[in-house]
Amino acid sequence: MNFNLQRFVAIVLKEFIQMRRDRLTFGMMVGIPMLQLVLFGYAINSNPKHLPTAVYAADNSVFSRTIVWGLRNSSYFDLTREAHGPEEIQNWLAEGKVQFAVTVPVDFSRKLLRGEKPDLLLEADATDPSAVGFAQAAVSQLATTVINRDLTGPLARLQSSAPPFNLVSHQHYNPESISQYNIVPGLMGVMLTMTMIIITGLAITRERERGTMENLLSTPVHPGEVIVGKIVPYIMVGYVQVALVLLAAKFLFDVPFIGSVPLLVALTFLFIVANLAVGITFSTIAKNQLQAVQMAFFFFLPSLLLSGYMFPFRGMPGWAQDLGECLPLTHFLRVVRGILLKGNGLAECAPDLWPIALFVVIMLAIGIKRYRQTLD
Amino acid sequence: MENSAFAIDVRGVTKKFGARTVVNNIAMQVRPGEIYGFLGPNGSGKTTFLRMLCGLLKPDAGDGHCLGLDFRRESGEIKKRVGYMTQKFSFYEDLTIEENLDFIARLYLMPQRKAAVKQSLERLGMTERRQQPAGTLSGGWKQRLALAACLIHEPQLLLLDEPTAGVDPKARRDFWEEIHKLAAEGLTFLITTHYMDEASRCNRLAYIAYGNLLARGTVAEVVKAGGLTTWEVSGENLAALADKIRKLPGVEQVVAFGTTLHVSGRDAEKLQAAVAPFMTEAQRWTKIDSGLEDVFISLMETAKDNFA
């Protein structure tokens, strides 16, 4: 019973024909990437700007006007409302009409001029902490730089003194914190995980569910021929998805391509195989197509959440990071972002390649062991 | 290689699913070119037995040969020479007729694949419809396609699992004609069926119930071995009569056959003594030769008492 190329080709051809006929699955293979590109690429932004902000200037002075002007000029705030009392501010925050409220207290300028360091109140609707983080940081910077400009002449002594050292911070690889640079390359990994596992998961369970497996098993076909024959067509589908994302990344989202694209394409192969191996293994365990899809989601969810795609990997507790390290998506994200944004080469990627390779070996071993050549 | 004069020669074949014995110590010998019928009620283990023969299931016990090959160890070789037609249509409904045949031909590494597919289509009379998806075929045509696909690699033995279930009488008759033609060419058949008329078209048959082989031989042999005496009753109020005589000693079964009643028992004298008082003018009683169906029903009833 050795691997026969002709029988393998027979399976591949059959899979291609079925793929072409099955419009829904075919649509899913192209539709899911497109949908994810649009949603994740255009809709999701972890650094939100133009947040609705209310101002209550109880102290109508040069300084309060300067602050309001400064806020207006920062891209983070849209001064949508002007309040006439503190109650209004509370109501608007509660009703969700504004995300921020800035209150300049009555004696702001008087205290400022006396050097008493008055308070400037910034209230935020922090039900979603990630929405307010960046904006808050922007305000504190604004307060010092903007006000200093008004403190000239005899008031110059009030200018906040420079700290005893200079903090120089460089944001490497994505200086403007553009979410798309992080999300779009990562999306490649996410959609490969999703479609590859679901589609291959369905491929074998469908044979079992429709009874065609019984027929297949009664022919001299070898399990290796069936499994590899079913994987190959979907590797090609995976590359179509990769091409879609890369084109979108380059031309729609202007993601920098610093590293080598051929290297990325080559390394993606390993990741695609990893996901197909999961799908095949699931399909040998699942009794029907529904179960296969459920298992795929069971794997997809932790991949999405723990891989560092949606949330910063280092922000997770140790056990979650350990779990994340077991998932191929975690390592693939590092590879993609590393190559595209950092210009990493093979040497820098290597630490993330062997875990994926190990994963493939383990999964395929389970899959081939579980693929029953008999119906027992 | 041929160390047996039989196409199938197995004994002691046993299969358990968990604690349940589905096939119990069955022996079977089928001669080359023979049409061997395999009968038994639903769930009696026929399909399991066929699946073991073609390597789809691993038997728990038993040994023997299939086409001269060790049926437990050489299932890979056996698969190349056996055609197995599943009970449920198990070809790809989203592939066309031609694509299905071509796929199967490829799996068997047919050297003249295209010619074989073409010939098979012609034989089926489906050359014009070859581009039609298999899923759109009617039951009879699906069954013919399945038979053609089983034959494409020129097997020596065909295992057909209820090939005519859900097929209309005309298609059934055509199907059996085809089988007899193929058997004449030297092909061996093992066919499971529920139909008595089909059973009587087989050269020999075996009857299995609850995993146990209860009878085998030619139709005449099986009927004789059943040792059944049967009276046919015709006339009026048969239903009332059936109720009255069913419980009598010696009467083992009372079965309605159309407008007649078949009353059978294995002890001829006891049976006659029991029914004698009912032989009145109202109904006509005739002693007839027991049919295959009488025997099978009797076997099944007995088996139920013994094994179920």
Q: What is the pLDDT of residues B224-235, one digit of tens each?
A: 888 889 999 988
pLDDT per residue as tens digits for the range A233-247 = 888 889 988 998 899
Contact across the interface for B90 and A18, Cβ inside 8 Å = no
CA distance A259 to chain B (A): 44
- Classify the phi-psi angles of B166: left when phi > 0, otherwise alpha if psi is within -120 to 50, otherwise beta: left
Please state the rounded mean pLDDT for residues B142-156. Answer: 92
Residue B1's pLDDT band (boundaries 50, 70, 90)? very low
pLDDT per residue as tens digits for the range A5-29 = 999 999 999 999 998 888 887 888 7
Strand partners, B256: B261
* B75, closest residue in chain A (CA to CA): A220
Count the residues in chain B. 308
Q: How far is CA B14 from CA A305, B21, B25, B27, in A?
A: 51, 7, 5, 10
Assign B227 to helix, strand or coil.
coil
Which parts of chain A have pLDDT scores under 70? 1, 143, 155-164, 166, 372-376
Please list every residue in chain A whose beta carbon sits closer than 8 Å to the beta carbon of residue B82.
Answer: 218
Residue B2's pLDDT band (boundaries 50, 70, 90)? very low
Contact in structure between A339 and A264 (CB atoms under 8 Å): yes
* B105, closest residue in chain A (CA to CA): A10
Assign B5 to helix, strand or coil.
coil
Checking if the pLDDT of B93 tops 90, the result is: yes
pLDDT per residue as tens digits for the range A64-103 = 888 888 888 888 888 888 888 889 889 998 888 888 888 8
Res A158: pLDDT: 67
Higher pLDDT, B301 or A248: A248
Q: Which of A2, A105, A123 is nearest to A52 (CA)?
A: A123
Assign B302 to helix, strand or coil.
helix
Contact across the interface for A14 and B56, Cβ inside 8 Å = no
Per-position b or e across A138-176, b if 16+ CB within 10 A of its CB? bbeebbeebbeebbeeeeeebeeeeeeeeeeeeeeebee
CA distance A374 to chain B (A): 5
Question: In terms of DSSP bridges, do strands B188-193 and B157-161 run parallel, antiparallel, or are they unpaired?
Answer: parallel
Which candidate from B91, B93, B108 shows the least CB-CB separation from A215? B91
d(CA A311, CA A305) in angstroms, rounded, equals: 7
Checking if the pLDDT of B38 tops 90, the result is: yes
- Most distant CA pair in chain B, distance: 72
CA distance B5 to chain A (A): 24
H/E stretch holding B217 reads: strand B212-217
d(CA A75, CA B202) in angstroms, rounded, equals: 89
pLDDT per residue as tens digits for the range A267-284 = 999 999 999 889 988 888
Please list every residue in chain B whose beta carbon sits closer than 8 Å to the beta carbon of residue A9.
Answer: 106
User: Quick check: B79 contacting A, CB < 8 Å?
Assistant: yes
Per-position b or e across A335-365, b if 16+ CB within 10 A of its CB? bbbbbbbbebeeeebeebbebbeebbeebbe
Please state the rounded mean pLDDT for residues B61-89. Answer: 92
Which one of A206, A218, A222 makes the best mutation probe of the B interface by having the most chain B beta carbons within 10 Å?
Answer: A218
User: Quick check: B18 contacting A, CB < 8 Å?
Assistant: no
Mean pLDDT value across chain B: 89
Phi (first) and psi of residue A97, to 5 degrees: -75, -30
Q: Is the ipTM of this complex over 0.85?
A: no
A-proximal residues of B, 235-294, CB under 8 Å: none
d(CA A255, CA A257) in angstroms, rounded, equals: 6
d(CA B256, CA B300) in angstroms, rounded, equals: 17
Which one of B50, B54, B106 makes the best mutation probe of the A interface by having the most chain A beta carbons within 10 Å?
Answer: B106
Question: In terms of DSSP bridges, do strands B69-70 and A121-124 run parallel, antiparallel, or are they unpaired?
Answer: unpaired
Nearest-Å Rg of the Cα atoms of chain B is: 22
Find tokens 């996901």 and name the residue. Answer: A275
Task: Encode chain A in three state secondary structure.
Answer: CCCCHHHHHHHHHHHHHHHHHCHHHHHHHHHHHHHHHHHHHHHCCCCCCCEEEEEEECCCCHHHHHHHHHHHHCCCEEEEEECCCHHHHHHHHHHCCCCEEEEECCCHHHHHHHCCCCCCEEEECCCCHHHHHHHHHHHHHHHHHHHHHHCCHHHHHHCCCCCCCCCCCCCCCCCCCCHHHHHHHHHHHHHHHHHHHHHHHHHHHHHHHCCHHHHHHCCCCCHHHHHHHHHHHHHHHHHHHHHHHHHHHHHCCCCCCCCCHHHHHHHHHHHHHHHHHHHHHHHHHCCCHHHHHHHHHHHHHHHHHHCCCCCCHHHCCHHHHHHHHHCHHHHHHHHHHHHHHHCCCHHHHHHHHHHHHHHHHHHHHHHHHHCCCCCC
Nearest-Å Rg of the Cα atoms of chain A is: 28
Checking if the pLDDT of B252 tops 90, the result is: no
Q: Which domains does chain A have, with CATH numbers?
A: 5-44+178-370 (no CATH), 51-158 (3.40.1710.10)
Res A198: pLDDT: 87
Checking if the pLDDT of B156 tops 80, the result is: yes
Res B305: pLDDT: 66
Q: Which domains does chain B have, with CATH numbers?
A: 8-222 (3.40.50.300), 229-289 (3.30.70)
Q: How far is CA B58 from CA A207, A373, B202, in A?
A: 21, 10, 28
What percent of chain B stands above pLDDT 70? 97
Strand partners, A124: A100
Model pTM score: 0.80
* Interior angle at CA B164, CA B161 and CA B167, nearest 5: 145
Other C-beta atoms closer than 10 Å to the C-beta of B170 total 9
